[in-house]
Every structure is written in structure tokens, then in C-alpha cells.
């Protein structure tokens, strides 16, 4: 008896395509698995469940969904960027890959509450390739504005872009395609589909062992093009996990950085649960820098999320929560929940280890050199006179990191075999 479950509509569509045209690039496979408008991971989660795949009930957490303090600290940085540009009457924030709009909601609420002058100038445009159906706040990513003064912002957008995969065989860069044989999807190795796949890896080839696997993100170039078309004057603030290229393709990272997430569990087989699990790859920040440089957008900062948030005053927010607890303005449980959420944003074992790239175009006032930003250099107290936002203040849903329903909360026995964030994102493979 054949007890193999029947193929899903998405699997069948891929099988038919492969039968007709032959094996497909991993990039095309990942694009279908994540973004097929009917059955892809992001569109179907957002449509069928009407639940964000991000958060306690979803497959993973991100910084915005961990605590509204993330959005508040970014809001303080945006306000300083606005002043650095000479406080124009309109400062546009274009968030790309905004998901269900949690960061948008946290930033706009904090700006309205704490930064009234900036609030008059800030226009916030959130876009996503798979916005929630009928969302009024997040627009389709084809609706990008052009020629804005402001900031292009993204959090964990680039790691969600489809990538090509390669393998080193007999000292040559070859490409890993997806084929269907018998009754399963399998890898097939062939010549590279684009010369650029090999060109990115070749400078490192002599040190890479036989069988070494990795990823190449060719879409970063298109993303840079859209950033360049959008931004006339201002900043690009990019937060994600990833490395500069020598680190990304270091010899010991033999299996590359491709990862799958399904209900907070890490996996490495993207050919399973097609359309039901998230697939990501670490970002090649060298490609980001090169692309931006070609477009005349200069990198002005490169740091970790922990450094950024410390510079922006995350410790003041933690202290604020402790003080409000001591004054009985909030319950002790509320204080613990908020402190855990805020601390998670800068923890070295977790989100704090993410990379932050800051780029700028024409941001120097009247042709003067660029002025320093507090997020990059520290020094100023942007939090001075501003309260920390609490989970209860935010209209968007957040993860509640201390609740028992959270699989990351301490004491959950099902967590025993899960990798820690440190293992997921450490420099060591």
C-alpha cells in the first residue's frame, strides 16, 4: 500500500513544470515555496490563517514582534535623521518587507506620542511583496514612491529573498538545481545558470573544500536598484543576519547558511513541507555595499544590533521599566515581561547579534560632510525625556516572551533539543 500523502497543489505545479521544462534553479523553487501567490508560505499564511507567521503562534520571532521598544528606538533614530537633513517639511520612511506592519505601527505610535514635531513631517509607507489581504497599512511592494527625502528601512527583508545554491565539485563552482525523480524532490547538480553565481564565489575557491555548499543572492542588485530609485536624499537602514563575503564563504561553513523554520524548529531540508515552512539564507553584506556604492549611496555605519540599540539608549528604557515597577505604576509581572522583551533585542545570543548597515545619499546638509548619527556613534542621549513603550501601549501584537505558550520561554521541556539563537546565528557553522 502506498501511504505517501498526495502532492499539494503547489508541489503538483512544480512537478508539472519540471516535467515540461526540466530541473529549476533553487531560486525559482524558493520563490515558489515562499511567494507563490496562491500557495506560497507568506501569501497563504497571511490569507488562510489571517495570522502572522511571525510571533508566538508562528514559526519565528523578529525584533519588531519581540517588543515595541525596537520600533521606539528606531523612531528616535529616524527623528535624528530628519534633523540631520535639515528638518524638511516631509520626511518619508519607506519600509520594505514590512510583513503585517508591526514595526510600522510601533514607530508611528511612538512618534505620535513622544515626538510631536517630527510627527508632523513623517510620512510612513510600508510595503511587502506579500502584504496581508486587504491591509490598509501595508501596500504591495510594486507601490514604491520615487525621489523621496527620508529613510529606506528594512528588518529581515534580505534574508527572505530567494537565492541560488552552489556546490564546489572538482575545484569548480557548480549550481544545485531542484529536480523531481521517482516520487520526491531531489537536488541536481549542473553548470551555473548565471555567470555571476560562480563569479561571487571564485575569489574564495582555492580555500574551499570539495563538496562545499553555499548560496548566492542575485536579487540584492534589484533591491538596491529599487532603493536607489526611491531615495533622493537620506538614509538606508538595513537590519538582518549575515556577514561580509569572506565570512559568508569561509572554508569551515561547509553547508552554507540556508535554514528552514517550521513552528520555531530549525531544519535544513528546504525540499520538505513546501509552502509550509520558511526558508532563509544569511545576507551577503558585501553585495549590499557594492550595489549601493555603484548607485552613489555611501556606507556610513556597520555595527551589530546590540551596539545600535545601546547607542540609541536601550538601557534607559530598561531602567525606566524598573523604575515604574518600583513606583507601582505597573505590576511586577508586567515589568518582568517588558524587561525580558526589551533585553531580548540586544542579547548577544540572539537578536543583538544581527547586523546593521547604514548607508546615506546626499545626507550632508548644504554640501557639508555627513553628520554623525547617534545610532552609529553613540554620545547623545536620544531617550532623554522619553518613556519606554510597554507591551500594553502597543496596538500591534507582540510575542510576550515570558508567557507559558511561548515555546522559547524557560522551562518548556519541548525546547530541550532546539538550537539556541547563538547556535543559529553564531559565526561558527
The site for ligand SAM (CB under 6 A) is made up of 42, 54, 62, 64-65, 96-99, 102, 128-130, 141, 155-157, 160-161
Q: How far is the CB of 209 from ligand SAM (least distance, A)?
A: 31
* Alpha-carbon gap, residue 111 to 251, rounded angstroms: 45
CA distances from 77 to 62, 81, 200, 302, 353 (A): 19, 6, 34, 15, 19
Cβ contact 186:26 at 8 Å: no
Q: How far is the CB of 336 from ligand SAM (least distance, A)?
A: 24
Q: Which is nearer to ligand SAM, 103 or 167 (CB)?
A: 103
136 three-state secondary structure: coil
Q: Which is nearer to ligand SAM, 335 or 345 (CB)?
A: 345
Q: How far is the CB of 332 from ligand SAM (least distance, A)?
A: 29
**Total residue count of the chain as it appears in this document:** 429
CA distances from 187 to 33, 154, 196, 417 (A): 15, 32, 20, 27
* Alpha-carbon gap, residue 260 to 268, rounded angstroms: 6
Radius of gyration of the CA atoms of the chain, in A: 22
Type and span of the H or E element at 63: helix 63-66
Cβ contact 349:332 at 8 Å: no
* Alpha-carbon gap, residue 54 to 103, rounded angstroms: 12
Q: Which is nearer to ligand SAM, 78 or 168 (CB)?
A: 78
Q: Which is nearer to ligand SAM, 278 or 325 (CB)?
A: 278
* Alpha-carbon gap, residue 33 to 323, rounded angstroms: 47
Q: Which is nearer to ligand SAM, 212 or 421 (CB)?
A: 421
Q: How far is the CB of 197 from ligand SAM (least distance, A)?
A: 19
* Alpha-carbon gap, residue 378 to 376, rounded angstroms: 6
Q: Which is nearer to ligand SAM, 128 or 284 (CB)?
A: 128
* Alpha-carbon gap, residue 130 to 118, rounded angstroms: 29
Q: How far is the CB of 409 from ligand SAM (least distance, A)?
A: 20
Q: How far is the CB of 285 from ligand SAM (least distance, A)?
A: 17
Q: How far is the CB of 331 from ligand SAM (least distance, A)?
A: 28
Q: Which is nearer to ligand SAM, 28 or 96 (CB)?
A: 96
Q: How far is the CB of 185 from ligand SAM (least distance, A)?
A: 22
Q: How far is the CB of 427 from ligand SAM (least distance, A)?
A: 21
Q: Which is nearer to ligand SAM, 64 or 256 (CB)?
A: 64
Distance separating the N- and C-terminal Cα atoms of the chain: 41
116 three-state secondary structure: helix
Which stretches of 130-197 are assigned E, i.e. beta strand? 138-140, 148-155, 164-169, 172-181, 184-190
Q: How far is the CB of 239 from ligand SAM (least distance, A)?
A: 8
Q: Which is nearer to ligand SAM, 98 or 356 (CB)?
A: 98
| Helix/strand/coil (H/E/C) assignment for every residue in 379-394 | CCCCCCCCCCCCHHHC
* Alpha-carbon gap, residue 223 to 99, rounded angstroms: 16
Type and span of the H or E element at 360: strand 355-361
Burial-class residue 331 by CB neighbours within 10 Å (0-12, 13-18, 19+).
exposed
* Alpha-carbon gap, residue 210 to 187, rounded angstroms: 17
Q: Which is nearer to ligand SAM, 34 or 388 (CB)?
A: 34
Amino acid at each position: 500500500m502506498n501511504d505517501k500523502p498526495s502532492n499539494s497543489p503547489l508541489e503538483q505545479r512544480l512537478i508539472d513544470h519540471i516535467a515540461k521544462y526540466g530541473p529549476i534553479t533553487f531560486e525559482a523553487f524558493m520563490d515558489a515555496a515562499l511567494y507563490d501567490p496562491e500557495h506560497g508560505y507568506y501569501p497563504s499564511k497571511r490569507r488562510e490563517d489571517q495570522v502572522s507567521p511571525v510571533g508566538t503562534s508562528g514559526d519565528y520571532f523578529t525584533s519588531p514582534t519581540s517588543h515595541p521598544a525596537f520600533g521606539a528606538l528606531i523612531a528616535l533614530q529616524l527623528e535624528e535623521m530628519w534633523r540631520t537633513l535639515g528638518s524638511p517639511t516631509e520626511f518619508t520612511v519607506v519600509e520594505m518587507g514590512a510583513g503585517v506592519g508591526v514595526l510600522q505601527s510601533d514607530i508611528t505610535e511612538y512618534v505620535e506620542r513622544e515626538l510631536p514635531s517630527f510627527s508632523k513631517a513623517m510620512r510612513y509607507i510600508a510595503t511587502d511583496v506579500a502584504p496581508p489581504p486587504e491591509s490598509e497599512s501595508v501596500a504591495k511592494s510594486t507601490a514604491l514612491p520615487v525621489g523621496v527625502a527620508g529613510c529606506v528601512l528594512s528588518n529581515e527583508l534580505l534574508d527572505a529573498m530567494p537565492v541560488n545554491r552552489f556546490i564546489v565539485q572538482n575545484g569548480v563552482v557548480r549550481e544545485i538545481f531542484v529536480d523531481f525523480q521517482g516520487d520526491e524532490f531531489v537536488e541536481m547538480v549542473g553548470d551555473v545558470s548565471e555567470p555571476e553565481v560562480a563569479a561571487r564565489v571564485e575569489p574564495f575557491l582555492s580555500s574551499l573544500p570539495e563538496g562545499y555548499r553555499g548560496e548566492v543572492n542575485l536579487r540584492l542588485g534589484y533591491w538596491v536598484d529599487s532603493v536607489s530609485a526611491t531615495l533622493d536624499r537620506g538614509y538606508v537602514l538595513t537590519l538582518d543576519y549575515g556577514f561580509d563575503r569572506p565570512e559568508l564563504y569561509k572554508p569551515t561553513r561547509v553547508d552554507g547558511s540556508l535554514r528552514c523554520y517550521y513552528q520555531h524548529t530549525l531544519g535544513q531540508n528546504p525540499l520538505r513541507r513546501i509552502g509550509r515552512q520558511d526558508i532563509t539564507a544569511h545576507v551577503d553584506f558585501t553585495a549590499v555595499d557594492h550595489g549601493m556604492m555603484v548607485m552613489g549611496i555611501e556606507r556610513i555605519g556597520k555595527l551589530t544590533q546590540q551596539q545600535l540599540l545601546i547607542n540609541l539608549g536601550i538601557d534607559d528604557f530598561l531602567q525606566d521599566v524598573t523604575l515604574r515597577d518600583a513606583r507601582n505604576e505597573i505590576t511586577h509581572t508586567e515589568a518582568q515581561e517588558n524587561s525580558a522583551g526589551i533585553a531580548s533585542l540586544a542579547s548577544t545570543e540572539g537578536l543583538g547579534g544581527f547586523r546593521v548597515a547604514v548607508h546615506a545619499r546626499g545626507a550632508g546638509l548644504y554640501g557639508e560632510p555627513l553628520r554623525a548619527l547617534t545610532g552609529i556613534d553613540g554620545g547623545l542621549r536620544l531617550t532623554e525625556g522619553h518613556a519606554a513603550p510597554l507591551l500594553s501601549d502597543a496596538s500591534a501584537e507582540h510575542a510576550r516572551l515570558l508567557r507559558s505558550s511561548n515555546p522559547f520561554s524557560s522551562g518548556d521541556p519541548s525546547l530541550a533539543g532546539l538550537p539556541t539563537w547563538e547556535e543559529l546565528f553564531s559565526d561558527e557553522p
